[in-house]
Chain A
Amino acid sequence: MTPILQLEGITKVFPGVVANDDIDLTLQQGEILALLGENGAGKSTLMNILYGLYAPTAGRIVIRGQQVTITGPHDAIAQGIGMVHQHFMLVPPLTVTENVILGNEPIRHGLFLDRNRAAARIRQISADYGLEVDPSAVVSTLPVGAQQRVEIIKVLYRSADVLILDEPTAVLTPQEVDDLFAIVRRLVAGGKSIIFITHKLKEVMALADRIVVLRRGRVVGETTPAEATEEMLAAMMVGREVSLAVAKTPAKPAQPVLQVEGLHVLSDRHQLAVQDVSFTVRSGEIVGLAGVQGNGQTELVEALAGQREVLSGSVRIGGHDVTRASPRRRAQLGVAYVPEDRQRDGLVLDFPVADNLILNTYYQPPFARGILLQRAAIRATAERLVKDFDVRTPSIDTAVANLSGGNQQKVIVAREFDRPVVLLLASQPTRGLDVGSIEYIHARIVEKRDHGAGVLLVSSELDEIMELADRILVMFRGAIMADLPAGSTTREQIGLLMAGGRHEQPQPAPEEEEVGGR
């Protein structure tokens, strides 16, 4: 059978960089091909070539046995290739129907928009592939998972046979990921072919028919989930042995560094997002905060970091009452904070790496004397941190916006971890990062714990919590459902609690122990 899509010898050279080096790739009809590789391996470049966003330096594209030239997304769509981007290309204030037909509007009487016909077709597509979405809903009101379904419908509406899904699970909750996988399987059953770009090994193993691994712009291996193991794939991606399990010794919890009592916090919509939460984090332990996204974890951590006002209750850090303290005061007390949305909260993208590394210490010596910034000291520190934390950047003067996500996160980690840390608040510290960076950041968090910091780790990835945490708090609808020791708890138990199920043990009473200032 002729493959639906063949890429032959695709090479793409950017000035100074070979992003794709002589890549061959075949996609059969009805196949799920996983394209696996770290950030920077050339996956996105390759798909952008296929989608016509870049012109390849060399190589050819063959579709259904015929060589084609694709000079833009228009050509790609005409050839039946559709792409679901990692970051949705939707217009939030428009409805689902309007978004889907954008650029391809059905016209009635040569002048009028035929919304009904479009909506009918969208309903048909929804029904065919299990893509549940209300065509008249406004996109901005939809949850992320539903927005992604709209993207897929958009592609199907343009009669695509080959769907490229670029890191589709990066923004999804575990439930949404399951839904997506079900949809992908139905698409394939309906005769579509899928290229699935990811760096998450579990997903590849669960979904793919065939796996192609890219590293540094080259195909380094091709296998199937049946033949491969996660360790094998990780080693292929990274080019060396990777330990997926975090190496750590048992925790030695000491005095409490964070004491939260009866905390109530409002969300942006002025609803109670955190209700009567009490817990303690001790020095030398990692407390994992598990929960489905949107159950108050974000608001809780923001309140602890001083980014969000506390409605009632108290927060003590190292014995000091900081319930209403400014972020700066907390930082001075030894709080390090890795924010959930690194680009929105943690970085100034237009600033160079060096300036981002002093974001919360710029006013202190040695970075400033009086109001004068000490460039020499700032640069020296930046050079040291870039080296110590392995931030891959052309120079410390490069704008952070030009770094990859993993390296952006390393900038934040370098900045926050370089100070003496009493309490580390890490919110989704590895979201969207590649295996190498995750391994690195996990090791650094454990290292901080071993040096005596208390760590509160918030993650929507249960695996991360299971691996790193010494103690696990489960949050559901703003309340803490359970406080469990990590060693003796199963995924199923936690999963049940995350969904609101009751735990047989009553929640332990909050620590009342009083500790003097450090």
Chain B
Amino acid sequence: MKRSPRDRQQRAQPFWMPLLAIVTALILGGILIIVSDLEVIAAFTRIPRQVAVPFTDPSTQVSLEEALWKHPNEVQVGDGVLVDGRTLRVVEEVTDPSKQIALSEARKLYPTLGPGVTIYYNFWQKPTVGLKAAWHSVKTAYVALFEGSIGNPKQMVQALAAWLKGDPSLLSRAFYPLSESLVTSTPYILTGLAVALGFRAGLFNIGAEGQYFVGGLTSVWVGYSLKGLPIYVHLPLTILAGAVGGGLWGAIPGLLKAKTGGHEVINTIMMNYIAFALSDWLLNGPMMRPGGFRPISPEIEPSARLPRFFGGDIRFHAGFFVALAMAALVYWLLFKTTIGYELRTVGANPRAARYAGISLTRNIVLAMFLSGGLAGMAGANDIAGVIYYMPNAFSAGYGWDSIALALLGRSHPVGVVLAALLFGTLRAGATRMQSVAQIPIDIISILQAMIIIFIAAPEIIRSLYRLKKPSTAELALAGGDTAEGAQA
């Protein structure tokens, strides 16, 4: 009998497959960190350094090993290095390879020759140095990533202990990274839901970025132009304005698709450019902050701001819970209501939807409106929860990443939330990784890309670890033969 190719997709994946994908990406990312780290490369290759006379100032002592693998280009003539318990001063660099000798040799020669021998490493002469350097590099990077995204566990425990004893001063510093991760995750959750909802209805909403911008514009306008409202009126209005703005922006390509067949991919991309230009014009014109000359909007009223729960630098705000609530709402809508049933039917088989008397036009427009609304809400969230005004460089590319998020989360609200938390965490940690470990921030983008590839193409992971194919795939291939045979 006839079978569509999608039957062959493994429907259910074991829960650990995405985890394995993430771990694999981290391993490969580690390799990337190692090979991109000049210092590690240096540790693997020859580094000529001349070691010289004893040096006695303990404050500047470093071990030679450390000096060589950590700062190969910073050990200057005149620096002190510790070799076998004695501090030596570097007196001269030797560039002539014929004059260079290995450290082990130098150790032997030192007592007789005295200061002034040249030491170099070669990986095969002392492999542990290179490996240690590699390990150190990866460890520094990932520890920085972890501390930048979650926080330093020791600090966190100490801060909590101090807080219990009545001293909350340490909390803000210890929990700042975690807060930042959640703050970054929030727009990711919303835009990810936006794209996922579109996917469910068979629509490829590439326009989340533009809808995010428009949502930002409408919410900031409601946020600063209405004055004197109580927070329980003004704040919901501000968020709603963002959702409606983004929703209408999304509904336009939806309408074009439903009425003219114009492809939503093209039209949402075009709408993105219009949104960027619109934002540029508004911020340089009607919405420009009075008295200013930078393209930014006025600040929104305090009554339009999402409450923050902790003082100081902690930016964690109520928007995170709004986003979680939206995820629950999207789940409910998709799977528990007739509206969701229609959207999913239109997405899974438009011909069957038409057969069932479901209006394609209405559902396409509705899906794009809801999708755009979620993306617009993400914009409103950042306005009302984080920056309080609209700059012209508003987005950090949430709209683009959201496509990957929806894929990663398999267009399921729970999956999207998890994927958004992962992305938010990686993004927040990346900054610290760059500053502490000097690892370029692009490594994080590569890491994200690898995670997506591995989750989207589990075959790679399977072949990498020589995992057996799930037997269900073979069953599905056997098709009805066995489906019916099982009953026989």
Contacts and interface: CB of A to CB of B under 8 A. Distances in A.
A and B bound? yes
A343 B4 contact: yes
B484 A39 contact: yes
Interface string B470-486: 01001111111111111
Contact of B336 (A327, A372, A405): A372
Contacts of A307: 354-355
A307 B478 CA distance: 33
B1 interface: yes
A87 interface: yes
B345 interface: yes
Contact of A402 (B7, B342, B471): B7
A52 B4 CA distance: 21
Contact of A39 (B6, B342, B345, B480): B480
A347 B480 contact: no
Given A373-B341, A406-B1, A40 B355 contact: no
Given A307-B354, A343-B2, A216 B486 contact: no
B98 interface: no
A223 interface: no
Contact of B480 (A373, A394, A405): A405
Interface stretch (A58-66, A146-154, A355-363, A493-501): A355-363
A432 interface: yes
B352 interface: yes
Contacts of A337: 355
Nearest to A364: B338
B15 to A, nearest CB: 18
Interface in A356-383: 359-360, 362-363, 368, 371-373, 375
A48 B479 CA distance: 12
Interface in B353-383: 354-357
Interface in B314-358: 336-342, 344-345, 348-349, 351-352, 354-357
Interface stretch (A14-22, A260-268, A443-451, A472-480): A14-22
A327 B354 contact: yes
B338 A362 contact: yes
B471 A14 contact: yes
Contacts of A407: 480, 483-484
A54 B474 contact: yes
A401 B352 CA distance: 14
Contacts of B486: 16-17, 394
Interface in B450-486: 471, 474-486
Interface in B1-19: 1-4, 6-7, 11
B7 A40 contact: no
Given A339-B355, A372-B337, A349 B1 contact: no
Tell which of B336, B339, B357, B481 has the most Cβ of chain A within 10 Å. B481
Main secondary structure of the interface of B (DSSP, over half): helix
A429 interface: no
B337 A402 contact: no
B13 to A, nearest CB: 15
A14 B1 contact: no
Nearest to B472: A15
A326 interface: yes
Contact of A373 (B4, B7, B338): B338
Contacts of A375: 336
B348 A401 contact: no
Interface in A1-23: 14-19
A328 B484 CA distance: 33
A86 B480 CA distance: 14
Contacts of B477: 53
Contact of B6 (A360, A392, A401): A401
Interface string A35-67: 000011111110010000110000000000000
Contact of B357 (A331, A373, A404): A331
A41 B481 CA distance: 7
Contacts of B481: 19, 39-45, 404
Contact of B348 (A328, A348, A405): A348
A349 B480 CA distance: 13
A359 B484 CA distance: 23
A202 B11 CA distance: 39
A347 B349 contact: yes
A393 B475 CA distance: 14
Interface in A151-197: none
A214 to B, nearest CB: 11
B476 to A, nearest CB: 7
A432 B1 contact: yes
Contacts of B2: 86-87, 343, 405, 432
A346 interface: yes
B487 interface: yes
B353 to A, nearest CB: 8
A513 interface: no
B341 to A, nearest CB: 5
B345 A359 contact: yes
A45 B345 contact: no
A346 B351 CA distance: 8
Contacts of A392: 483-484, 487
Contacts of A373: 336-338, 340-341
Contact of B479 (A41, A355, A404): A404
Contact of B356 (A327, A350, A371, A402): A327
Tell which of B1, B6, B477, B482 has the most Cβ of chain A within 10 Å. B1
B485 A42 contact: yes
Contacts of B349: 344, 347-350
Given A327-B356, A373-B341, A40 B351 contact: no
Nearest to B486: A17
Nearest to B477: A53
A405 B1 contact: yes
A350 B342 CA distance: 14
Nearest to A171: B2
Contacts of A349: 4, 6-7, 348-349
Nearest to A46: B481
Interface string A381-395: 000000000001110
A45 B4 contact: no
B113 interface: no
B338 to A, nearest CB: 5
A438 interface: no
A292 to B, nearest CB: 21
B49 to A, nearest CB: 55
Tell which of A344, A372, A375, A404 has the most Cβ of chain B within 10 Å. A404
Contact of A14 (B4, B341, B475, B488): B475
A32 to B, nearest CB: 23
A492 interface: no
B474 A44 contact: no
Given A329-B357, A393-B483, A432-B2, 8 more contacts: A17-B482, A39-B484, A40-B481, A45-B481, A327-B354, A351-B344, A373-B338, A399-B11
Interface of B: 1-4, 6-7, 11, 336-342, 344-345, 348-349, 351-352, 354-357, 471, 474-488
Q: Which 7 A-B pairs have the closest CB atoms?
A: A404-B480, A405-B1, A328-B357, A40-B484, A327-B357, A392-B487, A360-B356
25 contacts: A14-B471, A18-B485, A19-B482, A19-B485, A39-B1, A39-B480, A40-B480, A40-B483, A40-B484, A40-B488, A45-B481, A87-B2, A326-B357, A337-B355, A343-B4, A345-B355, A359-B345, A359-B355, A360-B355, A360-B356, A372-B336, A373-B338, A393-B487, A402-B7, A404-B1
